[in-house]
């Protein structure tokens, strides 16, 4: 599994929340590492930093305290893919937490530290994510702890109240919303860890709707998914794909490629500069790759390949090939 990545489901959830708060797709397209099209896929991974930047954008749009907790409570079952179903198809609340921690890598960064602590009096979930930006990390931890409370209440059908909730981040100016969302006034800040605790009797509550046979299948699937997970295409990969598509349609230009990526030509140029490259370099890279591929097939002539790659004529393609070979 790629380091410093998270599951696409969580990224999509925060992205959709940002869109619902009035941010536009072109604005959010500027978030580094975010694909133009984000499918719901348990195997797809995106940079953890992309999730952090999305949290930051969401917090700019939704300035009320408790943004992460509200999102966790509003997201339907299945919003986090297989991880949701692994947790709710467990025998008891305690087992649900243990299963979630064991299989957390299908949704969280591999560097996430999490554990379930049982001392006979309380059941505690301790969670330390891999996002380090203060505001984004706080929202992310709000989300995780609140989501586990949602699991408990949804799966048991009871309004279970936590014994206490602790956050490592400093206290916000107001946290009445968090008190209301968690249902307890024992919400503390500046703690050593991020934790949510329940009474032992709540920990042993059965989950009446759980399908234990299905739960076993899902846990095995989660293990396979963690092993087979793949990173989403990087931004330059997306640019080159858009260039190739524009070439194939005979309308290669920065305006057309920018439209495919939902950014302006100026933004496209700036992003390429930030990546240490430029428009001409990326067009040239795509042309070289496609030329090598197409010319392996004897049915393609130099003239037809030149036209396919938006060259003026075959002579221009030959000149480019001499340059590529000289560099190689």
DSSP secondary structure letters along 129-157: -S--SHHHHHHHHHHHHHHHHHHHHHHH-
Predicted local distance difference test score (pLDDT) of residue 249? 83
Predicted local distance difference test score (pLDDT) of residue 226? 82
Domain boundaries, the chain: 5-230, 235-327
Phi, psi dihedrals of residue 168, rounded to the nearest 5°: -80, -20
> Which residue bears the tokens 């307890």?
184
Report the C-alpha gap between 55 and 120 in whole angstroms.
36
Cross-sheet strand order for the sheet of 164-166: 113-118, 122-128, 194-199, 164-166, 187-188
Q: What is the pLDDT along the chain (328 residues), one digit of tens a residue?
A: 567 889 999 999 999 999 999 888 767 766 766 766 666 677 888 888 889 989 999 999 988 889 999 999 999 999 999 999 999 999 999 999 999 999 999 999 989 999 999 999 999 999 999 888 689 999 999 999 999 999 999 999 999 999 999 999 988 877 788 889 899 989 999 999 999 999 999 999 999 999 999 999 999 999 988 888 777 667 787 788 888 888 888 888 999 988 888 788 888 898 888 888 999 999 999 998 888 888 887 888 899 888 888 888 999 999 989 998 886 5
For domain 235-327, give the fold: Arc Repressor Mutant, subunit A (1.10.10)
Phi, psi dihedrals of residue 300, rounded to the nearest 5°: -95, 130
Joined tokens for residue 226:
């963690």
Determine the 3-state secondary structure of 176 from DSSP. Answer: helix
Predicted local distance difference test score (pLDDT) of residue 30? 65
Predicted local distance difference test score (pLDDT) of residue 39? 63
Class of the domain covering 5-230: alpha beta
**What are 164's strand-pairing partners?**
197
């Amino acid at each position: 599994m790629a380091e410093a990545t998270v599951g696409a489901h969580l990224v999509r959830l925060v992205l959709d929340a940002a869109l619902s708060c009035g941010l536009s797709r072109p604005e959010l397209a500027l978030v580094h590492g975010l694909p133009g099209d984000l499918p719901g896929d348990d195997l797809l991974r995106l940079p953890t930093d992309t999730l952090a930047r999305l949290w930051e954008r969401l917090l700019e749009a939704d300035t009320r305290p408790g943004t992460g907790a509200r999102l966790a409570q509003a997201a339907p079952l299945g919003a986090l893919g297989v991880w949701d179903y692994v947790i709710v198809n467990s025998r008891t609340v305690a087992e649900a937490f243990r299963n979630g921690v064991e299989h957390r890598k299908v949704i969280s960064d591999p560097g996430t530290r999490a554990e379930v602590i049982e001392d006979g009096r309380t059941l505690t979930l301790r969670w330390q994510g891999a996002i380090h930006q203060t505001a984004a990390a706080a929202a992310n931890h709000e989300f995780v702890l609140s989501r586990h409370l949602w699991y408990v209440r949804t799966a048991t059908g009871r309004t279970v109240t936590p014994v206490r909730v602790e956050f490592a981040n400093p206290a916000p100016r107001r946290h009445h919303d968090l008190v209301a969302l968690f249902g307890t006034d024992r919400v503390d800040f500046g703690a050593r860890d991020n934790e949510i605790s329940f009474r032992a009797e709540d920990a042993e509550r059965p989950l009446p709707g759980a399908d234990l046979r299905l739960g076993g299948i899902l846990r095995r699937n989660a293990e396979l998914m963690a092993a087979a997970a793949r990173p989403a295409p990087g931004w330059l990969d997306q640019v080159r794909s858009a260039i190739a598509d524009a070439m194939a349609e005979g309308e290669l230009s920065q305006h057309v490629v920018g439209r495919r990526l939902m950014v302006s030509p100026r933004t496209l140029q700036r992003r390429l500069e930030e990546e240490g490259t430029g428009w001409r370099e990326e067009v040239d890279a795509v042309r070289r790759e496609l030329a090598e591929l197409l010319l392996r097939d004897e049915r393609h002539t130099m003239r037809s390949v030149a036209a396919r790659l938006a060259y003026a004529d075959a002579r221009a393609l030959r000149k480019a090939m001499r340059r590529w070979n000289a560099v190689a």
